[in-house]
């Protein structure tokens, strides 16, 4: 045995110990996730298959009722509209946060964070006051000569209320990506003869797309599970799947049917994300090349 072997063995053990250290640090978080997410999710899946008896009768009921498919489609449509509104509203705001000075940026960040400190129920009830037929918005429209617009108990009102609640989840990912973009690239493109609009769409916009995709995924997934805002601002024609789940579980005590609705929504969401993943990966690769 050579003299270097006793030294090499402790070094190998030390490297293996350092390799396992990150897993040991993340173990409490993983255990917590399994306890508060994995176990309830497994319970819902089992109930959807076992109540009132083992089988696929709950899923057959879901896909056999046209109203369930209509509500499922409406849920994704409303979530898509909310995501689009958030992207349109958040993009210029996040860009402004990167272009102003530190003091103004601090004020803009506070405006983004303040909604997190206010209850979602309070914000939704505020929108009920603003959007109702005799509310502030319709009163302003009538004062300038326009007729009243039906906003409460409509899909438009639901989209407005949900977009206001979820807007910070779109702004923060966008800002985190935009603050890493060197604005000198825009000036370099303009110095080579590109108009400001062309420089923005060919240089800045592609570099910011990873933030757009990240924020859009967060907003879209959160929109799918909204219950309070659609219940307070919406009507029968803007009912989302979460309302039907609540009716089946709490009102009718049909845990199997409610679980089947939740599983269908979860699986459909995963399928859509899997279809969108190649587009997002290609965007990240193109942004990395730039």
pLDDT tens figures, 147-190 = 777 888 888 889 998 999 899 999 999 999 888 888 788 888 88
Most distant CA pair in the chain: distance in Å? 97
Taking alpha carbons only, the member of 245, 265, 263 closest to residue 255 is 245
Long-range contacts of 138-142, Cβ-Cβ distance < 8 Å, separation of 24 or more: none
Which residues touch 232 (CB under 8 Å, ≥6 apart)?
A: 124, 125, 127, 128, 161
Give per-residue pLDDT as tens, 50-78.
Answer: 888 888 888 998 898 899 899 999 999 99
Whole-angstrom distance, CA of residue 272 vs CA of residue 274:
5
137 half-sphere exposure, CB direction, 13 A CA radius: 15
Q: From the centroid of its chain, how far is CA 101?
A: 29
- Residue 162: burial class (beta carbons within 10 Å; 0-12, 13-18, 19+): buried
Residue with tokens 């906003």: 151
Asked if residue 52 has a cis previous peptide bond (ω within 30° of 0), the answer is yes
Q: What is the pTM of this model?
A: 0.82
């Amino acid at each position: 045995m050579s003299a270097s072997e006793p030294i090499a063995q402790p070094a190998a053990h030390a490297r293996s110990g350092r390799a396992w250290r990150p897993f040991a640090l993340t173990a409490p978080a993983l255990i917590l996730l399994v306890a508060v997410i994995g176990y309830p999710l497994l319970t819902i899946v089992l109930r959807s298959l076992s109540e009132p008896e083992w089988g696929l009768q709950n899923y057959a009921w879901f896909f056999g009722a046209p109203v369930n498919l209509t509500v499922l489609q409406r849920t994704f449509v409303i979530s898509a509209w909310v995501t689009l509104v958030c992207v349109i509203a958040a993009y210029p705001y996040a860009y402004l946060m990167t272009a102003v000075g530190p003091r103004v940026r601090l004020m803009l960040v506070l405006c983004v964070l303040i909604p997190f400190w206010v209850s979602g129920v309070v914000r939704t009830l505020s929108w009920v006051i603003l959007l109702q037929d005799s509310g502030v918005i319709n009163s302003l429209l009538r004062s300038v000569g326009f007729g009243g617009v039906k906003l409460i108990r409509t899909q438009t009102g639901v989209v407005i209320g949900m977009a206001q609640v979820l807007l910070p989840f779109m702004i923060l990912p966008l800002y985190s990506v935009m603050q890493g973009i060197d604005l000198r690239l825009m000036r370099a493109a303009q110095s080579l003869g590109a108009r400001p609009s062309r420089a923005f769409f060919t240089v800045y916009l592609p570099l910011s797309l990873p933030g757009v995709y990240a924020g859009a995924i967060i907003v879209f997934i959160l929109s799918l599970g909204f219950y309070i805002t659609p219940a307070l601002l919406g009507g029968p024609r803007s009912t989302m799947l979460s309302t039907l789940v609540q009716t089946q579980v709490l009102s009718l005590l049909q845990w199997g049917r409610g679980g089947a609705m939740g599983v269908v929504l979860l699986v459909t969401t995963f399928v859509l994300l899997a279809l969108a993943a190649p587009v997002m990966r290609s965007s990240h690769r193109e942004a990395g090349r730039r």
